[in-house]
A and B are shown apart, each in its own frame.
Chain A
Amino acid sequence: MTARTRLVMFLVATTVIAAFFTAACTEVPRFGSDFHPYGQRAVTAALAHRTANVVSSVNFDIRAFDTLGEESILFTTVLGATLLLRLARDEREHPPAAERVLPTTRLFGTVLMPITLVVGVYIVAHGQLSPGGGFQGGVVLATALHLAYVAADYRVLERIRPLTVLDVADSLAAASFTIIGLAGLIAGGAFLKNVLPLGTFNQITSGGTLPVLNAAVGVEVASGLIVLLAHFLDQAVEITDSDSQEAH
């Protein structure tokens, strides 16, 4: 198919989609209206489970089963990237070279890394109270580790990044989500049922299984993301194929 025919087909399809989408939009409740039946019910359910952050309650309590699927997607992606970016037969691995870094950049990394780690743990631990949770805090934790690459070099990052441990942590955290679900099935009669004591509203221990699930997801996202980025960074820093080897 030529680029021209493709564009014509696209324009025809776009016109149809745009017409139907606009027609559909005129039928939905207007932007900013007071009609939110699901939202109201979610707020009532979250308050009944003494969870201050309703979004977390929806994710890890009401729709916890969907979140199990979501974190399985993440786990599968890490597996898929590991498989796709493995060392091929015609590729060589080189030890990364030490790089010169400005002292101010090094100072920036040294100061910021512990702060970022604490912020990450805080966001994971307070997922039931304030905006945040396992997914967001996990990304902050993974970012904190990569400050070593930004502020020093790849060798430092490799030293503070125990990939084997993180691989196991990723799998264990992904499995623990299911195990918490099974615990709910045994103790409460339904998969992922919130069976732990609900605690006091607006305290860090409130929400029953919610903080536990948040912690599991936090560990999984942080370790999964570090492993994922490790494979991409290895491609850029360490691995060369036989063709480029000859060109050197």
Chain B
Amino acid sequence: MGIWVYLAAGWVLLVALYGLVTSRNLIHAIGCLAVAQSSTYLLLLAVGYRRGATAPVYSDLIPGTRPVVDPVVQALALTDVVVGATVTALLLALTIQLRKRHHTVDPQGLTGLKG
């Protein structure tokens, strides 16, 4: 596999950025941001993968009998998921307010400033 998994993570990030740049709808843009975030899950879990290894949980595994994948990056992926969910929630709340005050969700339609 070599480095292809890392490159796939980079590809997911760039596809999401393309979506963000060309987005005409803020809900769609938030979806793109979630995709960009998911590229980091892929990168983290790819970094932690170990060939022939199992999950780092010893409730049904005698320590030392089998190699396990890296638990540190899995914990980081959990943090990543939580942060992603909270960012999405806040952005959606902001979008609701924008729709109410400016009557549009098109980021390119948001040109005027309101006092």
A-to-B contact residues, CB < 8 Å: 3, 6-7, 10, 14, 17-18, 21-22, 25-26, 28, 30-34, 36, 38-39, 42-43, 46-47, 52-55, 57-59, 63, 66-67, 70, 73-74, 76-77, 80-81, 84-85, 88, 129-131, 135, 202, 228, 231-232, 235, 241
B10 cross-chain contacts in A, Cβ below 8 A? 17-18, 21-22, 25
Chain B interface SS verdict (over half): helix
A47 cross-chain contacts in B, Cβ below 8 A? 58, 63
CB–CB A22/B7 < 8 A: yes
Q: Specify which of B7, B49, B56, B100 is in contact with A32 (CB 8 Å cutoff).
A: B49
CB–CB A131/B1 < 8 A: no
B114 cross-chain contacts in A, Cβ below 8 A? none
Distance of A54 from chain B, by nearest CB (Å): 4
CB–CB B58/A52 < 8 A: yes
Pairs across A and B, CB under 8 Å, 19 listed: A10-B21, A25-B3, A31-B3, A32-B1, A34-B50, A34-B51, A39-B68, A39-B69, A39-B70, A43-B71, A53-B57, A54-B68, A55-B74, A58-B74, A67-B79, A76-B86, A135-B78, A135-B81, A202-B58
Instruction: Name the interface residues of B1-57: CB closer than 8 Å to any CB of A.
Output: 1-7, 10, 14, 17-18, 21-22, 46-51, 55-57
Q: Specify which of B6, B21, B55, B100 is in contact with A28 (CB 8 Å cutoff).
A: B6
Given contacts A26-B3, A84-B96, 4 further A-B contacts (CB under 8 A): A52-B59, A57-B71, A58-B75, A59-B75
B93 within 8 A of A: yes
B-to-A contact residues, CB < 8 Å: 1-7, 10, 14, 17-18, 21-22, 46-51, 55-59, 63, 67-75, 78-79, 81-83, 86, 89-90, 92-94, 96-97, 100, 108
CB–CB A85/B71 < 8 A: no
A55-B89 contact given A25-B6, A34-B50, A202-B59, CB 8 Å threshold: no
Q: Whole-angstrom distance between the alpha carbons of A39 and B82 in the complex?
A: 22
Q: Whole-angstrom distance between the alpha carbons of A32 and B46 in the complex?
A: 8
A21 cross-chain contacts in B, Cβ below 8 A? 7, 10
Tell me the nearest residue of chain B to A136, going by C-beta: B78
Distance of A213 from chain B, by nearest CB (Å): 13
Q: Whole-angstrom distance between the alpha carbons of A58 and B75 in the complex?
A: 6
Distance of B50 from chain A, by nearest CB (Å): 6
CB–CB B90/A77 < 8 A: yes
